[in-house]
Amino acid sequence: MTSPAPTRRPYHGSCHCGQTKYIAYLTLPPPTVAVDPHPGTTIRIYKCNCSTCHKAGYFHVRLKDAPNDFVLLSPTDPENGGLGDYQCFEKFAHWYFCKNCGVRCFIVGGKTETVDIDLEKWLGRESEGKTTKVWRPKSDGWVEDGGSYFSLNATSLEPKQDGFDLRGWAEKGWIYYLDMLGGKGEDRFGEPHEGGMY
């Protein structure tokens, strides 16, 4: 059996109540399935045993190219009260959450922007030239893991989308596990570090 070629497709996601809505391009299967592949070459799927990820039940999906792969359709002002914000540790990353239902759809650290874009064109569809206001990581100067950080929460993606099945991510062995709690272990496939979850 040969696995299908990596395909970049848009997927919809939201919080539970629907106040947070986004579209993200995922390239699946991941072009590279490896521990700590170079950011920008593949999507990275992992779970982390740090106290924040543990309490939030966070399932990391690091996009291949966050500024070009993600648009937040609602709210378009997450940092100005549109979403709740939680910061911990070095206060770099914003763990945004819906103020209504509490769901965390993404974490961001770095420059962002609210812009009018041609959403149909962005989705590769025929465009009538209509513009839509979106919020997204700012492409200019964005260096993933080099001062900029964006992580999507896989559990906020809508289930039952064509080509998207979270069961398969575990079954195919795409998930690797970080040891941020003690910071002692190597990132690895197969088994979470102490304090982590499958």
- Give whichever of 93 and 98 is closer to Zn ion, judged by the CB atom: 98
Asked if 17 is part of the footprint of Zn ion (rule: CB under 5 A), the reply reads yes
Min dist. Cβ of residue 166 to Zn ion (A): 20
Return the residues of window 35-64 that contact Zn ion according to CB under 5 A. none
Min dist. Cβ of residue 24 to Zn ion (A): 17
Asked if 161 is part of the footprint of Zn ion (rule: CB under 5 A), the reply reads no
Asked if 158 is part of the footprint of Zn ion (rule: CB under 5 A), the reply reads no
- The Cα 152–Cα 159 span in angstroms is 15
Min dist. Cβ of residue 136 to Zn ion (A): 19
Return the residues of window 83-122 that contact Zn ion according to CB under 5 A. 98, 100-101
Min dist. Cβ of residue 88 to Zn ion (A): 21
Which positions touch Zn ion (CB under 5 A)?
A: 15, 17, 19, 98, 100-101
